[in-house]
Structure 1
Amino acid sequence: MIFRRIGCGLILLLLSLFWGGNAVAAERRTPVVAAVEKAGPAVVNIRTEKLVRRGGTPFFGFSDPLFEQFFRELASPRTYKTQSLGTGVIIDAQGLVLTNAHVIEKASKIFVALTTGGRELEAELVGQDHQLDLAVLRILGAGPFPALKPARSDDLLVGETVIAIGNPLGLGHSITTGVISSTRRRMSTENNEFGLFIQMDALVNPGNSGGPLININGDLIGINTAIIQQAQGIGFSIPIDTAKRVLDDLIEFGRVRPAFTGILPGEVGQAFSNSLGAGGVLVHGVEPGSPAEKAGLRIADVLLTIDDDAIGTTDEYRSLLRTYTPGDPLRLGILRGAEPLALTLKLAEIPAGYAVDYAERVFGLRLADSRQGLRVQGVSAGSKAEEIGIRPGDFVTEVAGVRLSSVDEFSRLMERLYGRQPLRFLVVRGGRGYYVEL
């Protein structure tokens, strides 16, 4: 009888320990843990190899000119292999990976390491856009792969908990948590492009770039980026809605096709801006037959919003337009005189040959290919180019900091800079170059 009681007591004790342990484990399984368990398998560590060609003497640390002259013949260029690290997230069971463009920039080889199984597989670049800092890779291996489908970022709440997953310093998956400080923070990046970002106090360090930002439900709401140097103690993420809008273009065309509105934008005056209580973009011109003309826009209209996003400057207008592709509809909020209006504009592709025609109409330059660069064939009478002193026979070798050697390169650049004015041109005459703004 005594032994039976002791046995029952031991059983009850063991059961209480078991149930108690489960209760403690259940208490520790917070929503953050559940979200990471859901999203984690789709996160990959990215390793890239780059071939860098450098010259210089193999003897470092000697500054004596005689020594350097003696070994000059040995200082032939050498090729070095360098590596960089980042993060990505699988968004398709067939192996499509979304990451930052700067993570795989100039990579000769790309490898992704999977969480499940620890496999490292080679990947290929499908498409990239440096202005948006987005890239799509394809894993070269048999699937299916664990994937995390893009959710939405238009319903985010300031103060809600978010989780960033990354690969800082190549240490493998690291988790940081925080709250959203702003759902649409306007920032300029290293290449002076403006963008809208999710701002949070979850840190995004080098190596975390390209990793997913998830909400408490484990949904993919952003792609983390460490491209903004001034970020200290805070993190930024590209809203997943931005990525979704350009994803099809990246996969199908390998790039984001520039969208054409037919609006020639300009800044509104300071006095007018103050009267609005905010900025705006002046419709300086409307291209004939363009989407803008078809939508009913007129010269002197003031563009205030695109899809409810306020537009304060031409830089903001252009950067927001970069997140759309041809065929997308835009809901425009404009001011015509004192009357607010709502219009819908359907974006189109930039017409073939438009950039060259644009240069002649807007800048007054007729350009042609030559061995020395873009040759100025003609200058329109009364144009900005004539006023500033450009002549036929001059050469244009650089526009907006980009070196150019052909009309095709100029056309592609003008597609990217469409509507931006003024632009800085490097004009060469008689072997001497000078900068002008048009």
Structure 2
Amino acid sequence: MDVAILFLVFVGGLVIGIPVAITLGLSSLAYLLVAGIPPVVMPQKMYAGMDVFVLLSIPGFILAGNLMNRGGITHRIIRFANALVGWIRGGLGLTNIAASMLFGGITGTAVADAASIGGVMIPGMKKAGYPSDFSAAVTAASSTVGPIIPPSVPMIIVGALSGISVGKMFIAGAVPGILMGLAMMVTCYIISVRKNFPHQPWQGGGEVVRSFGGAIWALAMTFLIIYGLLSGLSTPTETAIIASVYAFVVGAFIYRELPLREVPKILIDSAVSAAGILALVGFANVFGWILVSERIPQMIADGVLSLTGNKYVVILLINLLLLFVGMFMETIAALIILFVPLLSLATAVGIDPLHFATFAVLNLMIGLTTPPVGVCLFVCAGIARLPLAPVVVAIVPFLVTNILVLFAVSYFPPLATWLPSILTP
């Protein structure tokens, strides 16, 4: 009965549109009251969930992304991407995807990618003759590459939950992220040829070199992050702080597009964003503790293993579950609630923890572009000034492409594990 109250309040809150973090808190509080557990347990468990050293890197990476975005990174990356692929049929769509791949290596969050790249590319694509729904769809779909290519806020969460090295997680996401971007480029090109979308004339090798020179300081930030982690010179939290200082120096003194008077506002906005994520972590930790107390994860694992012990069938079932959950739940909340029990199930059938963590994150990233709770869909539809329905229809080919990449990564572990095995001790 107590667990029934937990799930009834949780599902009811989602149905009526209460934010996920608050829904998690309300459902957990309802359970504690019905079960007769002192409510003081709630702040204790919230604090325990947030009191993890690696989580301190989240505010740092958010701040670094905001500083670089305001400091002139977005249009430089778009210019470089456009010089590389803008001359191909559907070139602005390809530029959109390429820019997201490059931009994702700096912010680590899909929503920041969708808002920043979309704010520039969606109006630009519409003006160049691309349909509004396609412009919004390609932006939303490509934004999910951001949290796969390092750095990645969801992967930091996974590292905090499981003890898996955040550095290895970052490296494990590189190949799947690049595959995801290239597959979406192929899809974009095929659609563009079939619908005769426009393209731009080749701007010459000189423009490639000039645009690369303009973007090199921004692109070097990804190298800085990865080198710091792989060399052992800095922890994820220290790397995030270094990245923030680097972003400030580049934006304010090299690009000279970051006014010092705007820094306080950027600090406040970054703190608010980080606080929202950490509050979600805290509430979700309470919810997850209740599930563990009621042995729900063990029941799920036992139920699945009673049906099959075949590793490949278990991978299929996990993917189907996470794709379904991703349609209705925010990524970080889903990770905190489901990752640990599903990791236990995965390891029980012989799935490598790093491999599982990679395809689990990839899976939930796809959820950011699926209705009814696809945040990136809403962001891009809003920028394009369209209702959600036409954007959902236009994004279907990209969803199919991303799901194919997901299953390739799921069933061929070296795509996730090979690079970490050669780059990390």
Instruction: Decide: shared fold, TM above 0.5.
Output: no
> Which is bigger in relative contact order (C-alpha 8 A, separation at least 6)?
2
Structure ranking higher in strand proportion: 1
The alignment's TM-score, normalised by the length of structure 1, stands at 0.21
Structure ranking higher in helix proportion: 2
Rg larger in 1 or in 2? 1
